[in-house]
A = this chain, B = another copy of it.
């Protein structure tokens, strides 16, 4: 089979089948945005978790990414705390805001069946349960959190585009926060075997094509007025800042958050056109279990406010 170079975004969508439940998910996002649009709430689209790359069309095997979505889920909580409405576009079974704090085992361990057959909760076994529960219920009653899930990279990109189409009409009040770990590579469906790959064939060779970069059309066409933050994760510190700055030059969006695999929970660098600002937890903050996402969201929300003011004054002049 002949190897092809990277396809364009529109070629990719033409070659990739529309995911299951696409219409229902797009409709849910539309209703969510309509609801909040009337209320002058700021809205953030958070993408979170890794995308899969199926190796067979009746998929048994796939390539995945180590992300379990801590960054995205933690950030979502802080955006909700800051008054945002949140579309949380996340990998199926990755961490979700609030629920992530209590594993299924923690929950069962904290429950007791009494002699009268009623179930009671031992809060000592689930620290912070009450305060998190209150926030979880509040996000539900105010309808400020919409969870939408994906698995494969094609499904993710379809839903990202759909979310942006819905959000594009809201203008500068929208932030796009691209924390998902999106695969750079994929196998076009035309080059994928139908059935499970057999080990009797001996050593295996897998040929992957490049996934087209969607940040270009996203910034230029899908949500041109939004405040857009992307992430750059590397394991090699010598590549990080140059790659982050290159991304900013290429796509001309607002912020790249650069982070290194090993230290990503302690420090990141916020790179904008004009500067690079390191954000790191102090020793005091580490001791008090402050999450770095709290600092990131605080910075971004302030920058987003300036962006909104700037866009509005652009319209005035």
A315 surroundings in chain B (CB, below 8 A): none
Partner of A121, one of B103, B119, B130: B119
Mask, A89-124, CB within 8 Å of B = 1, is 000010010111011110110010100010111010
CB within 8 Å of B: which A177-232 residues: 181, 183-185, 194-199, 202-210
Answer whether residue A273 sits at the interface, using C-beta atoms and an 8 A cutoff: no
A60-B233, A234-B196 in contact; A99/B93 too (CB < 8 A)? no
Tell whether, in the assembled complex, residue B60 and residue A63 are in contact, meaning their CB atoms are under 8 Å apart: no
Answer whether residue A137 sits at the interface, using C-beta atoms and an 8 A cutoff: yes
Partner of A64, one of B58, B63, B102: B63
Partner of A199, one of B60, B111, B185: B185
Nearest CB of B to A148, in Å: 14
Residues of A in contact (CB 8 Å), total 65
Answer whether residue A5 sits at the interface, using C-beta atoms and an 8 A cutoff: yes
CB within 8 Å of B: which A131-181 residues: 133-134, 136-137, 181
Tell whether, in the assembled complex, residue B206 and residue A208 are in contact, meaning their CB atoms are under 8 Å apart: yes
Mask, A248-272, CB within 8 Å of B = 1, is 0000000000000100000000000
Nearest CB of B to A156, in Å: 15
Tell whether, in the assembled complex, residue B113 and residue A133 are in contact, meaning their CB atoms are under 8 Å apart: yes
CB within 8 Å of B: which A25-54 residues: 52
Partner of A202, one of B5, B59, B107: B5
Partner of A129, one of B5, B61, B119, B239: B119
Residues of A within 8 A of B (CB): 3-5, 52, 55-56, 58-66, 68, 93, 96, 98-100, 102-105, 107-108, 111, 113, 117, 119-121, 123, 129-130, 133-134, 136-137, 181, 183-185, 194-199, 202-210, 233-236, 239, 261
28 A-B pairs with C-beta separation under 8 A: A4-B203, A5-B202, A59-B66, A60-B181, A60-B261, A62-B63, A62-B66, A63-B64, A64-B64, A68-B93, A99-B103, A99-B107, A99-B108, A102-B108, A113-B130, A113-B134, A113-B137, A119-B123, A119-B129, A184-B197, A194-B235, A195-B234, A196-B234, A198-B239, A202-B210, A203-B210, A204-B207, A206-B208
